[in-house]
Structure 1
Amino acid sequence: MENSKRIIHSDEKLSISQSLFYGFQSVLACNFFLGPIVLIGAFQLDVKDAAALIAFTFLACGLATIVQSGFFLKFQVIQGMSFATLGAIISIGMKTDFATLFGALMIGSGVLIVIGVTKIFSKIVSRLIPGLVAGTVIICIGLALMPITWNSLIAIPGNPGINFLEAGVTFAAMLIFMRLGSFQSSLGRILSIGSVIYAIVLGTIVASLFGHVDLSPVGTAPWFSIPKLFPYGPPKFDLNASLVMTFILLIVLVESIGTWFTYTALSGETMDNQRIDRGVIGEGLGCLIGTLFGGMPVTSYGSNSGVLAVTKVFSRYAALGAGVIAIAMALCPKLMYLIAVIPSSVIWGIYAVICVAVVMSGLASIRVYPFSERNNLVVGVSILTTIGASLLPPQLVNSLPSLISYVLGSAIIVGALTAIILNLIIPEKEEDGISLGQIEANPAAVATK
C-alpha cells in the first residue's frame, strides 16, 4: 500500500483494509504487552495468570481506543496502559488485593468522567499542572521506574550473571534498532515501528540458549476464549486506595493531553477546551470499561505519534482498526501465552530503554523554560523527593497510616505532589526577560529566542 504524502485528516474515511493496515502499524508501535508484563514480574504471576492479565489489558486498550477515537476525542489516538500508574498499582496490589485495586480504578475513572462532563478540568486542573509541572512529573515517572529494572533483575531466580547478560543483549539490540530506525528510508521505517518486537525476539532467542524459554504452555492454550466480567471478583472499595488512584489518573490525563496536542501539531488540526473535555470523558469511560474486564488504566500513547509522522494518516478510522485488532488479539489465549512466556530478563532489558526514553521526554518538554532559581527548585526538589521515596525501606512505609503508606509507596506520587505544591507556593515572576505565562501561551515561539 503506497504511503501518500498528503495529510489525511481525522474525519476522512478509510476502507476497512486501510483501517486495519494502518491500525496494525499503530498496535505494533504501541506494544500493549509491556505494561502488564512489568506487573507480571512485580507480582510474580504464573504463566496462566500472566496470560490472562495480558489479555485483559489488550481488551481494555482496544475498547478504550474505540471509545475515544470513535465517539469522544475523535482523533487518531491509541489508548494503552500508562506506565505512570505502575507505582500506585503495585503499591495498592501488594497492600490489598486485585479486587481493591480495581475498585480504586473504578472510582478514579468515575472522577475523570465527572470532571469532563462538568468541564472543570480545563479550568482548574490545568492550573494545578501547567507545562513545567507536567514535564517535571514525566521526569519523575522515568526516575521512579528505573530502580524497578535493577531490583527485578537481581530478584529473578537463576544465575544473576546470565540474567544480566540476557537483559544486556536485549537492551543493546533495542538501542541499535532504534538508531537504525532513525534513518529516513523504507528499512528505517520498518525498524522504527517494530524495534521493540525485534529486540524481544533476539533477546528471547539468546535466553532460549540458556534454557529460559518454555513454549509448552503455548501448545496447550486454546485459540479462542470469551472474557468475563470482574475476573478478579466483585470490586472492593477503599477510600485511601481510591484517593491515590484518582490522583494518579489525573496525572495520567495530563500525559494524554500532551499527546493530543502533539497530534494537532502534526496534523494541523485544532484543539479547543470543548474537545479536551470530550477527551477527558472518553479517557475516563475507557478506563472504566477496561476495569470491568480486568484491564489496567489507559492513556493516549505518544509512541503512536511516530507512526503518524511517517504515514501522515491521521484518520480516526485507523485508530478504530487498531482497536478491533487489539480486541481480536485479546480473544486469542494462545497468542497471550506466547507473550507471557517471554523471559523476565528480556522484558527488563526493554523496560530499561523505556525508562530512559520517559526521562528524556520529560527533559525535552521543559527545555523551553528558563533555568531560573524558581524553576530549578520545582524540578530539582521534585527529583530529590522521587529518588528519596524510592529508597525508603518497605518496613517503614508499611508501618505508617494507610493513606500515607499508599502515597510514600509510590515514588511517582511523591514527586508529582512535590512539583504541584512547589509550583503553587513559589511565586511566578518575570525571569530572564521571559514570563512563565508567555511560555505557557506560546512555548514554540519562546524556544526560538
Structure 2
Amino acid sequence: MLSPLQWLFFMFANTVVVPISVGAAFQLPTNAIEMTIRCSFIFTGISSILQSWIGHRYPLLDSHAGLLWGLILNMGISASALQMDLSTVGGGIATGFLLAGVVTVVIAAFNLISTIQKIIKPMVISVYIFLLTFQLIFIFFKGMFKITESGTIDLPVSLFSIGIVIFVSLLRIKGGKVLGNFSILIGIIVGWLLYRIIFPSDLPKESSSSMAFTFFPLGTPNLELGIIFVSFFAALLTLTNSFASIQATADVYKEKVEQNLYRRSIFITGIFVVITAIFGLVPFTPFTSTIGFLQSTKLYNRKPFIISGFLFTLLGVIPPLGGFLGTMPLTIGNAVLFVAYLQLFGTALNSLKGTLFNSETIFRLAGPVLIGVSIMNIPPALFGSIPVLLQPFITNGLIMGVIISIILEKIIDWNKLTTKLVG
C-alpha cells in the first residue's frame, strides 16, 4: 500500500522544479507557470503508465529530459545576446521539438532502431550514464542548500538538509529490508514534517488557481533556423537516454532487451515530444536515474508504479491536490533525491562490466567523461567569444561528452586495441 505513495513522491520531486524554472527563465505569468506545472503532472503520469504498460514495460519514470531542460534554460538566458525576444526563442524551440518528435515517431514506425544503435554504441551509453550521474548529483547537491537574498547559504536550512541526507543514508544502509526499501518515502515525510515545525515561515504557499490550458506558452512556432537546429539535434540526442535507461533497467532485472521494446518505447517518446512542445514543457524521456531509486527501494513490481502514475495525473487534474504537494520544500526533495541517485553511479560502473582498459583504451571512457565533467564546471560566461548559436552545445558537458564518445567510437577500432591488451 505504501509503494505507490513512495513512487508518487519520487515523481513529484523529480517533476515540479522543471516547469517552475523554465517559466521563470521565459518570464511567464503566474497562471501560465501553474498551467505548465499541472500539465507536467498530467502528461508525466500518462506517459509513465503507457511506457510501463505497452512501451518498454518497466517501472521507469518517464519525465522531463535533463539534457533538454538545461538546453531550454540556456537558450532563455541567451535570448538577449541573440537579439531576439523570449517568445521568438521559445517558438523556435517549439518548432525544433515538434520536428524531432515527428522524426522519432518515423524512426520507430519504420523500425530504424538498428541504424540508431550503430551510432549509439554500448560505450556511448556508458559515457552518457556517467555524465548524467554527475549532472544530476550537481543539481541535487546545490538544490539541498537554500540561498539567501544576499547570495550566501542559509546555514540552518542547509544543515537541516545535510541531516536529512545522513538520516536517509543510514535508513538505506542499516534499516533492514522494510525501512531500507522505504527510506525515500520516510525521508520525505519526516523531513517535510520537521521542516514545517522548525522553519514554518519558509514553507511555499499553497496554490488554489483553476486549470486553464494554453498552447505554446513559450512562443508560437516559427522558422528561426539556428534555434530550430539546436533544439532538433538535442532532442534526437535524448534517444541515447532511452537506450541507456531501458538497457540499464533490464540489467537490474537480469533480462535481455528485445528490439521491439525499444521500438514501442521510442514511438511513445516521439508522440509525447510533440505533446510537450505544444504545452511548453521540457520533452519527456525514460529516466535513467530511476534505476538508482529502484535499487534503493527494491520496488520492482509494475503495479504500484502504474497506480502512482494514475495518482500523479490526478494531481494535475485536481488543482488542490497539486497545490498541497507544492508546499513541500524543494531543499528536502533535493536532499532525499541526492541519496537515491548515488545508486546511479553503481549503474554506470556496472555498464562497464567485461570491458578491459589499458593506457591506450582508457581514453575511450576517460576522455569523454572527464572533458564533459570539466565543461560542467566552467562558467558559461567564459564561452562568450563562441558564436551564440553554438554556445548551448559547447557549454553543455553532457552533450559534448556524448558527441566526443560517438566520434571516438567511429574513428578508432577499440576492439583491435582490446585484443592487443588480452594478447
Shorter-chain TM-score category?
Answer: 0.7 to 0.9
Which residue number in structure 1 is paired with residue 41 of structure 2? 58
Q: Does 1:128 align with 2:119?
A: yes
**Corresponding residue number in structure 1 for 2:132:** 141
* Match status 1:389 vs 2:375: yes
Question: What is the SS of the residue equivalent to 2:414?
Answer: coil
| 1:234–1:50 CA distance, 2 compared to 1 (3 A) | closer
Aligned to 2:70: 87
| CA 1:323–1:235: 2 relative to 1, 3 Å | farther
Which segment is superposed worse, 166-175 or 40-49? 40-49
Contact kept in structure 2, 1:103 and 1:242, CA below 8 Å: yes
Give the SS at the match of 2:63: strand
Contact residue 103 and residue 236 of structure 1 kept, 8 A: yes
Matching residue within 105, 111, 115 for 2:103: 111
Q: How many Å separate the matches in 2 of 1:119 and 1:142?
A: 30
| Alignment partners' CA distance in 1, 2:418 and 2:385 | 46
- Aligned partner letter, 1:107: L
Deviates more, 1:424-433 or 1:377-386: 424-433
Counterpart for residue 408 of structure 2:
422
| Deviation sequence 1:115-147 (CA, Å, 0-9, x none) | 1122222x2222222222211122223334555
1:306 to 294, 297, 311: 294
Is 1:178–1:195's contact at 8 Å kept on the other side of the alignment? no
SS at match of 2:285: strand
| 2:82 alignment counterpart | none
Tell me which residue corresponds to 2:319: 333
Partner of 2:161: 170
Aligned residue pairs, count: 407
- Contact in 2 for aligned 1:264/1:270 (Cα 8 Å): yes
- Are the structure 2 counterparts of residues 296 and 281 from structure 1 closer, same or farther at C-alpha, using a change threshold of 3 Å? same
Equivalent pair of 1:140/1:359 in contact (CA under 8 Å): no
Per-residue Cα deviation, 1:407-428 (whole angstroms, up to 9, x for no partner): 1132211111112112222222
Out of 203, 211, 216, the position equivalent to 1:213 is: 203
Q: Which amino acid counterpart does residue 129 of structure 1 have in structure 2?
A: I
2: distance between equivalents of 1:429 and 1:307? 32
Q: Following the alignment from structure 2 to structure 1, what is the Cα–Cα distance between the partners of residues 203 and 58?
A: 40
State the partner residue of 1:27: 8
> Partners of 2:187 and 2:224 in 1: how far apart?
37
| Residue 17 of structure 2: aligned partner | 37
Q: What is the distance in 2 between the residues matched to 1:360 and 1:266?
A: 11
Give the whole-Å Cα distance in 2 for the aligned partners of 1:398 and 1:333: 42
Identity among equivalent positions (%) equals: 17
Letter paired with 2:108:
G
Does the aligned pair in 1 maintain the 2:358–2:421 contact within 8 Å? no
Q: Which residue in the other structure is 1:259 paired with?
A: 245
Write the distance in 2 (CA, Å) between the matches of 1:350 and 1:203.
Answer: 14
CA 1:79/1:377 → structure 2, altered by over 3 Å: closer, same or farther?
Answer: same
Structure 2: which amino acid aligns with 1:142?
T
Distance 1:427 1:312 in 2: 38
Looking at structure 2, the residues matched to 149 and 25 of structure 1 have their Cα atoms a distance apart, in angstroms, of 19
Shift of the 273–362 alpha-carbon distance from structure 1 to 2, 3 Å rule, reads same
Alignment of 1:265-344 (within 5 A): 265=251, 271-302=257-288, 303=290, 306=294, 310=298, 313-314=301-302, 319-343=305-329
> What's the counterpart of residue 156 of structure 1?
147
* Range 320-329 or range 338-347, more displaced: 338-347
Post-superposition shift, 1:330? 0.9
Quick one: structure 1 residues 207 and 306, their matched pair in 2 at CA, closer, same or farther if it must change by over 3 Å?
A: same
Q: Is the 8 A contact 2:137 2:338 kept in 1?
A: yes
Whole-angstrom CA distance in 1 between matches of 2:193 and 2:353: 35
* Aligned-partner Cα distance in 2 for 1:347–1:117: 38
Distance 1:232 1:208, change over 3 A: same
- Which stretch has the larger CA shift, 146-155 or 391-400? 146-155
How far 1:149 moved relative to its partner? 6.0
Question: Aligned partners of 1:346, 1:320: CA distance in 2, in Å?
Answer: 25
Amino acid at match of 1:288: V
One-letter amino acid of the structure 1 residue matched with residue 358 of structure 2: S
- Quick one: distance in 2 between partners of 1:167 and 1:252? 33
| TM-score of the aligned structures, taking structure 2 as reference length | 0.79
Counterpart for residue 403 of structure 1:
389
C-alpha deviation, 1:177, in angstroms = 1.6
Match of 2:93 among 95, 101, 115: 101
Q: Following TM superposition, by how much is the alpha carbon of 1:221 offset from its aligned partner in structure 2, in angstroms?
A: 0.9
* Whole-angstrom distance in 2 between the partners of 1:167 and 1:155: 6
For the Cα contact (< 8 Å) 2:6–2:182, is it kept in 1?
A: no
Q: Return 5+ residue gaps in structure 1 as ranges.
A: 2-20, 437-449
Give yes or no for contact 1:59–1:330 (8 Å, CA) kept in 2: yes
1:146-191 superposed Cα distances (whole Å, 9 cap, x missing partner): 5556777899333666525423422441343244135443333332
For residues 146 and 132 of structure 1, the distance between their equivalents in structure 2, rounded to whole angstroms, comes to 21
SS of 2:362 mapped into structure 1: helix
Moved more, 160-169 or 288-297: 160-169
Distance 1:421 1:35, change over 3 A: farther
- CA RMSD between the two structures: 3.8
Given that 1:33 and 1:339 are in contact with CA atoms closer than 8 Å, whether structure 2 keeps it comes out as no
Structure 2: distance between partners of 1:159 and 1:354: 31
Q: Describe the superposition over 1:83-133 as per-residue Cα deviations: whole angstroms up to 9, x where unpaired.
A: 233321222232343443333322222221121122222x22222222222
Instruction: Name the CA distance, whole Å, in 2 between partners of 1:125 and 1:295.
Output: 25
Cα offset for 1:327? 1.5
Matched residues in 2 for 1:201 and 1:76: separation? 26
- 1:363-406 deviation digits (Å, cap 9, x = unpaired): 34224422223442122221332234334454453443243122
Paired with 1:203 and 1:422, the residues of 2 have a C-alpha distance of 50
- Offset at 1:61? 0.7
Q: Deviations along 1:278-310, whole A, 9 cap, x unmatched?
A: 221111112222333333222223526728984
